[in-house]
Every structure is written in C-alpha cells, then in structure tokens.
Amino acid sequence: MAASGAVEPGAAAATAAPSPAPAQAPAPEHLFRPISAEDEEQQPTEIESLCMNCYRNGTTRLLLTKVPFFREIIVSSFSCEHCGWNNTEIHSAGRIQDQGVRYALTVRTQEDMNREVVKTDSATTSIPELDFEIPAFTQKGALTTVEGLISRAISGLEQDQPTRRANEEAVAERIDEFIVRLKELKRVASPFTLIIDDPSGNSFVENPHAPQKDHALVITHYNRTVQQEEMLGLQAEAPEEKPEEEDLRNEVLQFNTNCPECNAPAQTNMKLVQIPHFKEVIIMATNCDSCGHRTNEVKSGGAVEPLGTRITFHITHPSDLTRDVLKSETCSVEIPELEFELGMAVLGGKFTTLEGLLKDIRELVTKNPFTLGDSSNPGQMEKLREFSQKLDQILEGNVKAHFIMNDPAGNSYLQNVYAPEDDPEMKVEHYKRTFDQNEELGLNDMKTEGYETGLAPQR
C-alpha cells in the first residue's frame, strides 16, 4: 500500500447491513495479515453504504491489516461514484493501551519523511520549531507518512484561505507565511522535530532500522492523567475515600461519672489540648452539682518517652509564677530551699500555673489531718508554720528559690517564655531511667516486641 499522502477527513458514511452470504468465517489468526503490497490474497471487504454527501449509495472498503512491529488496525475507505465524495480513516483494532505513548522523531533526511505513521484520533501532533500543534480529536485517524502529515496540515490551512483573504487579509497573510515554512519542512532544508503524543497508546512511528535501535526516534511511555482518562471516555478509578478523622481538639467531650466525695451522679468534661513546644495532653474536670465538689486532672496524650526529664527552674521574679506547668502523675517536685520534696502520684496530674501548684502544695501540707487537732506535735506544728511562711514569701516574690520537676516518664512540662530560644533561668536535662524507675512505671515487665510469638491458644 502506498502512503505518500495524507488521509483526508470527511463525513462518516452510514454503513448498511449487507445481505448475509453463506460463507465460512476465516480463522482469527488470518483476519489481520501483515501489510504488504505483494500479498495478493489480502483484499479489502466491500460493503454498500449510504453517502452522507448526496444520500445515495456508495461503497465502503474495509482492510484488516497488521503494521510490522506495531499492532492490528482497520483501514476504512468510502467512495461515492455519484458525487465523487471519498473519505479514508483508520481505527485501532485493539483496546486502549494501559499507558500513553509519546514519539519524538528528529527529521534530518528525505528518508525520514517517508516513514510510516499511524495517528489516531486522540493523538496530538506538534512541531516545536514552528510552535505548531494539531490538538487531539480535531482530525480523523490516519495511516500516512511524515510528509503526509505535513501535507495534510498544509491542505487544512489552505482550505479557507480565500475566505480569510476577503474578510481578514492580515490573518490570511500570516497563514500564507506559515504555509511557506511548512513547505520548507517537506524539503528538509533544516532538521526539525515531530512529536506525536497519544494518551491511548495506539499511535505509531515506523522504525526503519527495526529491530535495532533508532537513534532519531525517542519513544516514551507514561501513565495517563485523570483529564486524559476522561478525554478517552475511560472511568478513572476514584481514589479511596479515607474516613474522616474526628477532630477532638476543638470539642469538649462529656461522660457520666460519680462524685468522688458524695457519690452523686456527676459529669466529667474532657478536652484534648496541644501545648506549644511540647505535646498533646488530656484535661479532665469534674463538677458535682450536689455537693459542689470540683476537681481536675491532667493526663499525657502520648506514650512514655524513651528518656526521663528533669527540669530545674530558678524563681527570681513574681512574674515567673505565672508560667504554665504540666505536672504528670509520675512527676516528683523538689524545692531545695525549703528542704521539701513531693513524691510521685501526690496531687495527681495537674495543668496549672507555677503559683497554683505552689498553693496546692501549701494546702496539702498545712491541712494534713495527721498534723491537726489535739494529737498534733507542737514541734511539728512550728515546722509547718515556718514552712508555710517561707512558701508565702516565695509566692510574694520576696525570696528566690529553685523549683525542680523530675519525671521519669518525660511527660511533664514547664513553660519557656523565651521559646524557641533557651531560657537562662531554666535547665532541662534528659536522662536514662534506672531499673527501679522502670519498675515503678511498669516497664520492666512490658513486652512491646515479639509478644505474639509463644502465645498458645487456650482451650
């Protein structure tokens, strides 16, 4: 088959159903024979069909063939002997490929102009040197050559030139200049690049050196975009919708509980709070309407840290008492100037200010029932009074003191007003826990890796 020129687009022919003839269907492997001018057995199938130009009957010829080193195609040709209308186009006989394909051919010689080209409807043709592009679905599919593609473009531009010269002379002149440049490409006056980009993957540019590599031809396969899938009429796989995660940071949760003092029904409010430059914590507050008891508790929203944390803060000014403090249940507090130490789990978890925590410590010590009443020791009462006075002086800012928080779990926090810079009055140390500290936290008997093995099914 000669393919020196381009295939001209035209109106589709309405094919009439031919009268059935008793003929044996050919074997599937013989339906698509390799394209060859020497194959005399390869003849097109002729079907009488309606001409969409004069509405009289014409002839449609179908040729099922196979392009070497490519795939099967169907070449259809319609001609009308009454009005002279003709139309030829090709269709891929296979499915849309899994990937798109892009051919970039560098044309240097006249032999390159004679390369066979299969261009489908969905292919985009461009010549970067001329800033020229033929968008997809603006032309019918064609079996032609590189020269044929350029001739087809020239014919399309020249088609409406008489009308343009009458209405828009300036535009017509620019198109004439562009047509001259396209004709120069046919003479291969200088090398140029022809790019055919087909998302369906069914276009083809001949490699005359096959099966050897063609250094003038670059073939790239790519995954189609969602827009290209929609353009080809394919239903793109919808991305899996991930279930929306409930955001608890801006919501206060409530659950029913009993008052720890009078055991009356009460409600506990719980909220997840992000502490800047630290981590998330859970604040829980209970308010009893029956007895008026109020309590709050803070728990870490994360896991036990790999290292323990020791925070040493030097109180030098009354404003230091306004700093936020997160004291977890595993944190102990020490004030060396008062020879005072508060053990783990005492006061529970608290999120308050440094002043509020010191007041809670004062209330805990001075209102201890074992140090009040007739059974109290006068010497012990004097020590408690002295402790309370010194603590009041610290709260009033008259005495400087050191405040030490030691949390083996690493879940306690003291606000750094200079963050992200270091605080000159605060020292944060991270240390490796001892065996006894891990024992208090229950980590020695905790198995976090390989715990699935060795579990025998219980019957």
Q: Model confidence at 71, in pLDDT bands (50, 70, 90)?
A: low
Question: Does 344 lie in the same domain as 289?
Answer: no
Is 24 inside a domain boundary? no
Average predicted confidence (pLDDT) for the chain: 80
Q: Is the model's pLDDT at 353 over the cut of 80?
A: yes
Q: Is the model's pLDDT at 213 over the cut of 80?
A: yes
Q: Cα separation of 371 and 363, whole Å?
A: 12
Question: Does 168 lie in the same domain as 54?
Answer: no
> Which helix (H) or strand (E) covers residue 61, if one does?
strand 57-66
Select from 92, 109, 126 the last residue of a domain.
92
Q: Is the model's pLDDT at 210 over the cut of 50?
A: yes
Q: Report the pLDDT value the prediction gives residue 217, as an integer from 0 to 100.
A: 92
Q: Is the model's pLDDT at 249 over the cut of 70?
A: no
CATH number at residue 262: 2.20.25.420
Is 14 inside a domain boundary? no
Q: Is the model's pLDDT at 25 over the cut of 50?
A: no
**Which of 71-75, 80-84, 122-126 is the least confident region?**
71-75
Q: Cα separation of 64 and 34, whole Å?
A: 9
Q: Is the model's pLDDT at 331 over the cut of 90?
A: no
Is 22 inside a domain boundary? no
Question: Does 348 lie in the same domain as 257?
Answer: no
Is 459 inside a domain boundary? no
Question: Does 365 lie in the same domain as 394?
Answer: yes
Strands (E), 288-336: 294-300, 308-315, 324-327, 332-335
Q: Report the pLDDT value the prediction gives residue 438, as an integer from 0 to 100.
A: 83
Contacts of 124 (CB under 8 A, 6+ apart): 133, 134, 135, 136, 196, 197, 198
- Do 45 and 15 contact (CB within 8 A), yes or no? no
Question: Does 317 lie in the same domain as 437?
Answer: yes
Is 457 inside a domain boundary? no
Q: Is the model's pLDDT at 106 over the cut of 90?
A: yes
Most confident segment among 79-93, 285-299, 405-419: 405-419
Question: Does 327 lie in the same domain as 257?
Answer: no
- Do 139 and 152 contact (CB within 8 A), yes or no? yes
CATH number at residue 173: 2.60.120.1040
Q: Report the pLDDT value the prediction gives residue 382, as an integer from 0 to 100.
A: 79
pLDDT tens profile 270-280: 887 776 666 77
Is 288 inside a domain boundary? yes
In the chain, the number of structural domains is 4
Select from 92, 110, 130 the last residue of a domain.
92
Most confident segment among 44-58, 364-378, 431-445: 44-58
Q: How far is CA 221 from the centre of its chain?
A: 22
Apex 350 CA angle, 309 and 298, nearest 5:
90
Domain that holds residue 258: 253-300
Dihedral angle of Cα 206, 208, 214, 218, to the nearest 10 degrees = -10
Mean pLDDT of 234-238: 61
Q: Model confidence at 68, in pLDDT bands (50, 70, 90)?
A: low
**Which of 5-19, 205-219, 290-304, 442-456 is the least confident region?**
5-19
Question: Does 434 lie in the same domain as 327?
Answer: yes
Question: Does 156 lie in the same domain as 105?
Answer: yes
- Do 305 and 411 contact (CB within 8 A), yes or no? yes
Question: Does 269 lie in the same domain as 206?
Answer: no
Question: Does 257 lie in the same domain as 216?
Answer: no
Question: Does 167 lie in the same domain as 107?
Answer: yes
Q: Is the model's pLDDT at 120 over the cut of 80?
A: yes
pLDDT tens profile 45-59: 888 988 988 989 999
Question: Does 266 lie in the same domain as 150?
Answer: no
What is the pTM for the complete model shown?
0.41
